[in-house]
Structure 1
C-alpha cells in the first residue's frame, strides 16, 4: 500500500480483510476558530467501516504542552482499545482544516506501525464524490499491543537546541507567515512571537491543491524549494504544537525524504525564556 491512497482505491478495497480505516479528525480550537466536536461529527457521518481515533485522547495526560505525543504505555493502551494490530494496513483520513490525519500518521509510525497511508482529499473529497457514508460508532475488538520502548522520528527541546546550534538539520516551520515573522502574536498565552533562528517558513496549506488533494512530484517539491528548503539536507519540522509539522513531514515522505517532528514545537520553544528567538523573514 502506498503512503497516499485515492478515494477510488479505498472504495474498491474497503472490505479487504486486515484493512483498518481510522478517522483522525481533530479540532485544535485556536482563538477565532469555530468550535467543532470531532466525535459527534464522526457519529453523524463517516466512511463505512471506519473507527474514530480520538487524537485528543492520544495525547499524554497532564502534559504541560498541547497535543504532546503519548508515552509508550498510554499509546499502547489506547491503540489496543481500537483493536489495532501492527500487521494491519491502516488508512487514515480527517475532516479538519489542520490536516490532522498526518499527525496520526506520524504517531503510528513513531510507535512501530509501518503500513500506514493517508486518504488523498480526506472526507471532503469522499463527500464531493457522493460516496457512501454511515452513522453511529463501531465498537472494535480489543487487541494486545506490546509497549514500544521509544518513539521514532520525534525530537525534544534538547535535540532541537543542539541541531539549531550546529546546523545539522534544516528546520522548517509550518505556521502562517504572520506567526512565523512575529507580525501576528502567538495565540497561546505566554508564548513569544517569531520563530526558531535559522528556520524556514513553509505554511502547510501550500502542500495542497485547490481541491484539497496533496500536491505530488514536481509540484510538491516546488513548494519546498520556493520556501528555501533543501530537500537533500536532514529535515526537522516544527509548527505551533506538532500538528501541522506532521503535515510537512508527510509531504517530505511523499518525496522520498524522512523528516523528524519537533513535538513541543513553538509552544515549547517560544514559551521558554532561555531559547533564542527571531522575528521577520527567514
Structure 2
C-alpha cells in the first residue's frame, strides 16, 4: 500500500497540471491555451476579471500509448463555473475526438470534473453550452470511452453533473462529491432543515465519493494520488465502450426513486440497501 507521504496529491494540482500529469511524458499538447486569449466577453462588463482560457484546459496526447483528449475544469476560477466559451471548448474537443475516431484515429476523452455547474453571470448561455457538451459526449461515447474523474475538493454539481452521468465510467475519490444540486443551493431554496450546508459529515455521507460508489452512481473509488488516478483511468479506457450505460437505466433508477418516501427519507447509511440496477449487474 502506498504510504501517505509517498503519494503525490492530485487534488492539490490545478486543472492544467492535472491534465499533464495523466498523459504520457512528452506527448501532451494544449489546444486553445491561455496565450490564444479565448476569453468570455460577458464577465468584464459584470465586474469579473476574465481568465485567458476561460477556466477550461484542453490537452491532446497519449495515455499508455492511446490517443486521448483530457479536458480539465479549473476549480479556482469562478468555482469551476461553465460559461459560453468554456462550454464550447469542452463540446468542441469532444466532437473533434468523435470526428477523429470516425476517421480511423480512435481518440478517447477524459473529463476532469470540478465544477459547481453553470456560471451565474452567463446563466442562459451556460445552460445552452452544457446541452452542447452533453450532445457531444453522446456523439463520442458509442465510439470511444469517455472517463469522468471527480477528485475534489469542489466536486461536480449542476448541469455538469448530468454530463458526469453520461460518462462511460466515473472515477471518484473519497474527497470528491457528486450531486445535481449543491448543498448550499438546496439550503438556500428549501431551508437548513432540508439540507444543512455547514454539516460536512452529512454532505459527504450523501454526496461523497464512497457513498456514490455504494449507491452505484460512480464506478471506481481511488485515493488522492496521481499514480492511482492515472492507473484507474488507464484501466477504464481499457474496458472500452460498455454494452449499456448508466444513463440508460431509466426504469431501474426510476424504481429506485419510487422506493424512497420523501416524507420519511432513509438515513444516508441505508441508501445502499435500496435495490438498484448496479446490484443486478
Q: TM-score surpassing 0.5?
A: no
Which structure has more relative contact order (CA 8 Å, sep 6+)? It is 1
The structure with the largest helix share of the pair is 2
Alignment TM-score, normalising by the size of structure 2: 0.29
Give the TM-score of the pair, scaled to structure 1: 0.29
